[in-house]
A and B are shown apart, each in its own frame.
Chain A
């Protein structure tokens, strides 16, 4: 009997919770909610070198983390007011849809299906990645065209990496032998012990994994890229104001580098006569902040507290030895493809 009463109690408590939450249905805008709670709810990875990672003191760092910090600096005035939620690849989109997080900055590839089908909006790209190959220098392979029939390829299971690899070898007409593992560490181990001739995954990952090999210098990443993996922050569909805030925090972060504005010189840049720079530092009379529903200094704070994109890249990706060469992630003016709409 008691058991039954217990069950009924349980159900009624649950129903009560549901009912009391019912009036929360009227959704406040994310910008207002963020200001009210005093932190940006940001979804990050469970650890990806250079992108989102904790250090020994428990602080999150990485180029994906800097996007969240930029939004916090713009909206709340302090880049440290971020609540990070580490998410697995499987739960990242539902966490965003359910409102557990407001920005997803977790090395997520922008694809049509994700953008269109699941109620999410990609706001831009903060890293252009792509799948590449690593081989031993001793094999003499200089390009993906040198792969011969019977080549053994190590990679992870269940990701687009495997599919891209299949497509690639099919298009080249090369018969290959896949050697697949669940975890990146296993793949590296297998490649290192010589079980396969080449190792394929995203180039940022390849470079990071290379440092785990016994003799990293004996290996080389081939120049070709066989897939497009534009990674960027994601927000929920239907809150245009929040989407704009995140998008332009990202854009001003990148554009600051284009105009040579960085965390060190931004105070002196305030005196600049260049209207583009004046807009970036939020000088007198500029209207960008107002248009976004923020104050005038939103972009000043981003650059002052986080630095521009180039500084973030150097700190998180280049200096850590992951990808010292910026490649496509260089500005369009310097031979890369990083091109953002003008902040004006």
Chain B
């Protein structure tokens, strides 16, 4: 009786409510059963070729057979341990970081932000210590997506902070440089920036020189996202009360000291949702590197679905990629929420 009452009150309290409930119920009935049928019940999981998929549902054999390619791109199979190794260290450090004594947190953080990316880059590209060189044209899949996003995130954040401070600066050169930089990068579409970095930039270099395409692309994405980051952080800077600036000045702090110890910690805390938003957007912008021929996870799916033995597998591939993207974006959003919770102070 309680349940019936609840249902009547929540879903059928008025004719409009009843109508909405029924139509949404009908929509769910129309879409969900076929979706479950396709993805699970009629789907094929076992087998090695496209011919094994006769059930009429999704052919997950495609994803299974191409799984390593989707994760690692065309990275040589016998060298994949390097990627696994570096990313295991990253994941372990992140877990350890949570439970670490606050005294050591600082050092682990610095290790993760500075030496670790450089060491892992050396590990990925090889050419040292007897590791065979793996050219960046062989990098791909989810690995490449993560390399691009992690590097862009690490670099765009400090640049964004500096630009935001620059834009609020009293020194005209710095102020107008920052404004010019931000407005320029915000004014052009990312795809144009990537195209310039990937295609036009090499033509401007003297012949025979070659800055690696992946490096060019990461720099381009970093600068682009830094401009957005700067505006998000400027929002935080403006939200910090005038009194904080005056107070820090009053106790004798200079520009840098007051910013690092008083202003920025408060400002950044305020804009965590905005920062997370920018990072998630950056992560989801990475498939655009397809225009310059880099095969990140979506690019690998596009390559795989044109293999003559796997034609017609586009839907399965795209569903898989959507799922992977969702996991990462959702994790990022939850993580930012947890940081927000942790830093919450009542004042």
Q: Which residues of A contact B (CB under 8 A)?
A: 1-4, 6-7, 17-18, 21-22, 24-25, 27, 46-50, 53-58, 83-88, 90-91, 94-95, 97-100, 185, 208-209, 211-212, 316, 320-322
Contacts and interface: CB of A to CB of B under 8 A. Distances in A.
Interface stretch (B90-98, B264-272, B305-313): B305-313
A86 B165 CA distance: 41
B14 interface: no
Interface in B261-312: 290-295, 299, 302-309, 311-312
Contacts of B290: 46, 88
Interface string B313-332: 01000000000000000000
Interface string B1-17: 00000000000000000
Nearest to A59: B74
A63 to B, nearest CB: 11
Nearest to B174: A3
A86 B141 CA distance: 13
A47 B309 CA distance: 12
Interface residues of B, number: 54
B213 A18 contact: no
Contacts of A85: 137, 293
B137 A56 contact: no
Interface string B33-45: 0000000000000
Nearest to A25: B206
6 contacts: A22-B206, A47-B307, A54-B69, A55-B309, A88-B293, A91-B199
Contacts of A2: 162
A321 B311 CA distance: 11
Interface of B: 65-66, 68-69, 73-77, 135, 137-138, 162-163, 165-166, 169, 171, 173-174, 177-178, 195, 198-200, 202-203, 205-211, 213, 290-295, 299, 302-309, 311-312, 314
A83 B135 contact: yes
Contact of B208 (A27, A49, A86, A316): A27
Contact of B162 (A6, A50, A95, A98): A6
Main SS at interface, chain B: helix
Contacts of B213: 100
A3 B162 contact: yes
Nearest to A39: B135
Given A46-B290, A212-B312, A58 B76 contact: yes
A322 B208 contact: no
Given A46-B303, A58-B69, A185-B314, 14 more contacts: A3-B162, A24-B207, A54-B303, A58-B76, A86-B303, A91-B199, A98-B203, A98-B207, A99-B208, A100-B210, A100-B213, A212-B312, A316-B308, A321-B308
Contact of A95 (B199, B208, B304): B199
A47 B205 contact: no
A267 to B, nearest CB: 31
B77 to A, nearest CB: 7
